[in-house]
Structure 1
């Protein structure tokens, strides 16, 4: 009984603790203590790993403190969860630009990029599944409950929306499902094989994006994003998004 009461008390007190942590983090950030703010936001991010706003604030704190690679990690995680947020998108683009990288591919208008990435991959999966179920139920209603105009309209609308979101998901999935990682050491050495006995082909500086294609033990086979260069790099040199 006492154990149950303790759990209830801790559960009730957690929101107050989280609010106090966020208040403390905000105060430290506004006072210029960016490392202190990062520590506070890190605690909150560990408790709420799927909260894009916490990840965004954590990224801002790291960026202001001069820790560009960690800032990029958390900007990317926030963008993955909420790509339509203008502040997240702007700061991610700025952080990438600071390291000579780009968020928007060459030749693609910003408006097209923003619309194309309006929903996260998880949201597109959810919307596709929702309209698939709605289509299935509307077809059943059409055959078993009557073939009125409203049922026909529901079937058409559900089918059209399912195809729309399924196509959108299909177009987004190859890039959206990539295993991205950020270099977290001064220079990551890319070797021709998974071992230090293999020669170094090239090196990638801190805070640059890599795409993980395969893994073997302590090594990841990576591609440098938007290039044809690839190699094997130690996992400890990267932080996966």
Structure 2
């Protein structure tokens, strides 16, 4: 019996199980199928947002779903937003909040919440279809960063998925190396098989470790600002008295740079590479896999 092919098949099967298994959901989940979004050109009047206080998270979420099905989008947005402000983390909550924002014509809020959901369920077909409708021209579901196209590809797998793949490859490499050392006295054929398996699995672990490290850096060290205004001016310095170097349209996600001197201003990078300052109130921070 050839041991090496069986080992490689087992590793590939484990990797496929990780990649195609449903993403774990934190917090509440939707009941029933996802509700498709058709963006509207006019925004209805936004009613006063209801409060989730006094109701369980699931009850509040169900109330938002019921309001959405009745096309009462302002009420649904209020229920979902109340849960988000309480600190609840759920990709389905972010997805539904993005749906209501899209229905109300709030492109920036839709992009913000779809981006949050994308961190958890990046390969969800409904999310990607709805996301594409509200993104500014030329943008992808994955926010831009200095990793470029490879960085966007890495974001189509969650941080947990990358580390699970690395753990599988690392464990397989450890087993193969241990077996290789164990059978060194068992003859040339046995040694060759396990040595080859050890080299293959070690190489796989190293290859997977690179995108896993990139994804971790994206999650914890890179943040963006989602523009919420129709047009946000960007200045060369933190103040209106500085020359304007450009502007960003609603829904744009601009890489955010470190700047703490004046909380009223945020330092960002425009798509053409220019760096400047925009008013903090004109956008919302999207930080890696975090809620805020």
Q: Same fold (TM over 0.5)?
A: yes
**4+ residue runs of structure 1 moved beyond 6 angstroms?**
112-115, 173-176
Aligned pairs for 1:1-241 (under 5 A) are: 17-46=56-85, 49-96=88-135, 99-103=136-140, 117-129=155-167, 131-132=169-170, 135-136=173-174, 139=177, 143=181, 155-156=198-199, 158-169=201-212, 178-217=222-261, 218=263, 219-225=265-271, 227-241=272-286
Matched residues in 1 for 2:94 and 2:76: separation? 12
Matched residues in 1 for 2:213 and 2:68: separation? 40
Matched residues in 1 for 2:107 and 2:80: separation? 16
When residues 235 and 133 of structure 1 are mapped into structure 2, their CA distance, relative to the original with a 3 A threshold, is: farther
User: Structure 1: which 5+ residue stretches go unaligned?
Assistant: 1-15, 106-111
CA contact (8 A) 2:128 2:141 kept: no
TM-score normalized by the length of structure 1: 0.72
Matched residues in 1 for 2:95 and 2:228: separation? 19
When residues 142 and 235 of structure 1 are mapped into structure 2, their CA distance, relative to the original with a 3 A threshold, is: farther
Higher RCO (CA < 8 A, seq sep 6+): 2
Deviations 1:66-93 (A, max 9, x none): 2211111000111122211111112112
When residues 159 and 182 of structure 1 are mapped into structure 2, their CA distance, relative to the original with a 3 A threshold, is: same
Q: Which segment drifts farther, 151-160 or 71-80?
A: 151-160
Q: CA RMSD in A?
A: 3.4
Count of residue correspondences? 216
Deviations 1:3-32 (A, max 9, x none): xxxxxxxxxxxxx92332222111100111
Q: Which segment drifts farther, 202-211 or 160-169?
A: 160-169
CA contact (8 A) 1:141 1:151 kept: yes
CA contact (8 A) 1:59 1:74 kept: yes
TM-score normalized by the length of structure 2: 0.61
When residues 200 and 79 of structure 1 are mapped into structure 2, their CA distance, relative to the original with a 3 A threshold, is: same
Secondary structure in 1 matching 2:56: helix
User: Structure 2: which 5+ residue stretches go unaligned?
Assistant: 1-54, 143-149, 287-292
Matched residues in 2 for 1:18 and 1:216: separation? 35
Q: Which has the higher helix share?
A: 1
CA contact (8 A) 1:84 1:114 kept: no
How far did 1:133 drift?
5.3
